[in-house]
Structure 1
Amino acid sequence: MSLKEEHAYCCHVEAEPDGKPCYNNIKMYLERWEYPEGITNGQKKSIPRMANCFFLNKEVLYKRTPDLGLLRCVDVSEATKLLEEVHAETCGLHMNGFVLAKKILGAGYYWMTMESDCCKYVQRCHLC
């Protein structure tokens, strides 16, 4: 099926292969100060560096912004709902992927592949 033949509702954030959120390694590191099993030495160096940009409040992980704000990290199902709801709001079909990502950030939400997911979603929606 080509890109033009797909409906916009088929274009959602891709699920993580292991069923855990993409930020799970960072969350585990901040909760227990330990690494997941089977990671490489390079990953052991990058996880603490990345964790500096995040804040864990009980079970909820937040990403710190340069202006000291906090963005709530969401999983695949929440990200999909956000894409659909925010895109269907005021701008409708006139919104591009970068504007959609900016609106979601402005609403206080974040996921690691947000910008590319927003661009893909808008592109497929506009081709319908």
Structure 2
Amino acid sequence: MEEEPPTKPNMVPAIGQEVLTLDTDWCSPIIDFIKNNKSYPKGKEHKKLARRSSKYVIIGTKLFKHSASSGTLRKCITQDEGIRLLSDIHSGICGNHTSASTLVEKAFRSGFYWPTALADARNIDSHIFVAIDKFTKWIEVKLVTATTAVKAAEFIEEISHRFGVQCHVERANGLILQGLKARIFDPIKKYGAKWLQKLPRVVWGLRTQRSRASGYSPFFMVYGFEAVLPSDIAFGAPRTQNYNENKAEATRCTDINSAEEHCLTASMQHARYEQQLRRYHNHNVHERDFNVGDLVL
């Protein structure tokens, strides 16, 4: 095949630069090569582009790539489109905050492709903001790409509209970290990205777990009834077996009318719990007198 010189010098960037510089229009050199056989003046670069272009095909005006596993065609999209696609899969309406490799697998299985997919997926939601309501103990978690002041302000504004401003952060962090450590810690295998997969389960477990401070689960304090767990259905819990759909509305009305009573009971339990904590703390505090000039560590 005879090489044709490009119409403009340096029209196509080097092959390696397409990924390193994350060129959003990475499809253009391949489309240009397939349609017009435009390439580099040097034969070595021409061979690289020809070898790479052999995996692609043009249908109409769109570029498609042959899948290495199934041989099906995947639509090639820009990096900006790919990032938006990953964000929608990760945290959209049907998102489930999975790991980077799982995100890329879902995107490819949907029929899309771009060369920086895995690197882009690793940069999505690598940090979390956590807060817990002081009374109900309901935990709110938000995954973010970076812990900036703007993101923090948005998170605080969201939870303030829902719960007010009485939220604890340190306690919620400790509970979540404790739950994650028990699920993902492995001294032999790497577990750096597994926390994204386990986080929803840990948060759900804490929301449905009875709190010593209130005597109720956070789910009950927010919704007025206990959550139906998968184990309740699998093992036939009495409340699932005795459920009567015809009486569901009347039962719900009873729960709503009893909500205030449960809140008062939780308030008294919370007060007793705080008194126990105060006595425990004061028991371990020893009074000491200091004079001017004493050295204190």
Asked if these proteins are the same fold (TM beyond 0.5), I'd say yes
Q: If you compute each CA radius of gyration, which structure gives the higher value, 1 or 2?
A: 2
Partner SS for 2:65 = strand
1:47/1:92 CA distance change after superposition, 3 Å: same
Higher relative contact order (CA 8 A, sep 6+): 1
Deviations 1:17-38 (CA, angstroms, capped at 9, x unpaired): xxx61122111111112216xx
1:91/1:80 CA distance change after superposition, 3 Å: closer
Q: What is the alpha-carbon distance in structure 1 between the residues aligned to residue 38 and residue 111 of structure 2?
A: 28
Per the normalisation by structure 2, the TM-score is: 0.33
Identity %: 17
Q: Which residue of 2 aligns with 1:3?
A: none
Q: Which residue of 2 aligns with 1:114?
A: 117
Q: Among residues 29, 35, 39, which one is paired with 2:39 in the alignment? A: 35
- Alignment check: 8 A CA contact 2:62 2:76 kept: yes
Q: Which residue of 2 aligns with 1:86?
A: 89
1:45-56 correspondence runs (5 A): 45-56=47-58
Q: Among residues 56, 62, 65, which one is paired with 2:64 in the alignment? A: 62
Per the normalisation by structure 1, the TM-score is: 0.72
Consecutive unaligned residues in structure 1, runs of 5 or more = 1-13
- Alignment check: 8 A CA contact 2:79 2:116 kept: no
Deviations 1:50-81 (CA, angstroms, capped at 9, x unpaired): 11110111210000013220100001331122
Q: Among residues 100, 103, 106, which one is paired with 1:103 in the alignment? A: 106
The number of residues matched between the two structures is 109
Q: What is the alpha-carbon distance in structure 2 between the residues aligned to residue 77 and residue 104 of structure 1?
A: 14
Q: CA deviation at 1:122?
A: 4.0
Consecutive unaligned residues in structure 2, runs of 5 or more = 1-20, 128-143, 148-297
